[in-house]
Structure 1
Amino acid sequence: MGAGPVSGGVLARLRRGVWPGANPLRRRTDLFEPIALLVVLVAAVVVLIASFVASQAVLRDHLAQVNAEHADRHQVSAKVLAEVPGESAVVRSIRVGWGAPPGPQHVAVIEVPTGQQLADAVPIWVDPRDTPVPPPRTRSEATQAAGTAGAGILLGSGLVLGGLFTGARWYVGKRRLAAWEAEWAQVGPRWRHHLP
């Protein structure tokens, strides 16, 4: 014996599963879940748009900083003058000098990784006043910062929306059970008289 024709497709079955329809046993609380789901979906779309806009704003800001740093900083070759005593497992300090001969016009202490082999000269980045500065950031670092900002907004908003939806479903379920208990307290004694 066949199962009979299937009424509607996947979307129709999904709609019937989500929306309670005109069921005579439907309660007011049964409408909460599909409405709350719709609100969460709309909020998710808004969050997606907001995270995209925020990540683009962060990307523009960081790319402007990257361009400014590349325009402002330049690399020079500095002669290693001496190693500065100090204890650190990660970096060590060295005194370097750079500038036009006969002797270095600028001297500074910089930090280099402990495992790095030192040559007679090391490349360093300086600003227009010839002060040592960190290397300029790259475009990939700017892109990574923008992606992190967008992902943070998505993750945080998703956790908040999921928590609110779950908490609201728990509260409505609790109220639904309390309403069933109250109705059973009224109907239950009448049913007991009909039992054999």
Structure 2
Amino acid sequence: MGADRNRDGLRRLLRRVFPGANPLRRRTDYFEPIALVFAVLSAVAAIVLATVVAQGELRGRLAQVEREHATRQQVVATVVAEVGSTTAQRSVAVRWGEPPDERFAVVELPTRAPVAGTVPVWLDQGGQPTSPPMTSAQATQAAGLAGAAVLIGSALTVVVLVTIARLWVTRRRLAAWAAEWAIVGPQWRRHAS
């Protein structure tokens, strides 16, 4: 009993999606199955494209992580004085190294960081302060965002295209019904009188 019900439901779904040989069907009735096939193919293509983009972005970002970790080194610097501050950042003068190789620089610290004591400072190959190297987690997050952007952009594009096509088909369908009613309507009025 349940199998028959499932089979009937599947048949109804197939008849609804693919109009078949229904004598009342119009040419515009083929739009729904074509739009369904287009949406499914677009979804598959978007998933593949998002995967390729995310993997490419991840490879590029992980290579950047390796380059940055190879070319930057972290030193512990002593805070000498506070130079200025804003709501999010605070400029402090720091020093590191021993005389005669002692170095001074002004670096930006978060406002919650302590004013006195030591702070980690990242240096480039020339010994100048630079930003910390990217982490693997940041690279993974960037790749995920790139893949998600492709998926969202593809979904929005498909939705807009299908909506525009449905509006066009609906207008064509209503125009055809109006034209047919213009022919049939007077005949019905004569029979009703």
TM exceeding 0.5: yes
For 2:51 and 2:9, locate their aligned partners in 1 and report how far apart those are by CA, in whole Å. 31
Q: CA deviation at 1:113?
A: 1.3
Name the counterpart of 2:168: 171
Q: CA deviation at 1:65?
A: 0.2
Identity of aligned residues (%): 52
CA deviations over 1:88-125 (Å, ceiling 9, x no partner): 121111111112x2355221100111221134321111
Q: Is the 8 A contact 1:97 1:104 kept in 2?
A: no
Q: Is the 8 A contact 2:96 2:103 kept in 1?
A: yes
1:121–1:103: structure 2 CA closer, same or farther, 3 Å change rule? farther
**Structure (1 or 2) with the greater helix fraction:** 2
Name the counterpart of 1:37: 36
**1:5-154 map, 5 Å:** 6=5, 8-84=7-83, 86-99=84-97, 101-102=98-99, 105-154=102-151
Runs of 4+ in 1 over 6 A off after TM superposition: none
For 2:69 and 2:100, locate their aligned partners in 1 and report how far apart those are by CA, in whole Å. 28
Uncovered stretches (5+) of structure 1, i.e. residues with no partner: none
Question: TM-score w.r.t. structure 1 length?
Answer: 0.91
Q: What is the number of equivalent residue pairs in this alignment?
A: 191
For 2:75 and 2:115, locate their aligned partners in 1 and report how far apart those are by CA, in whole Å. 16
Question: TM-score w.r.t. structure 2 length?
Answer: 0.92
Q: Is the 8 A contact 1:76 1:124 kept in 2?
A: yes
Uncovered stretches (5+) of structure 2, i.e. residues with no partner: none
For 2:100 and 2:111, locate their aligned partners in 1 and report how far apart those are by CA, in whole Å. 27
For 2:187 and 2:145, locate their aligned partners in 1 and report how far apart those are by CA, in whole Å. 63
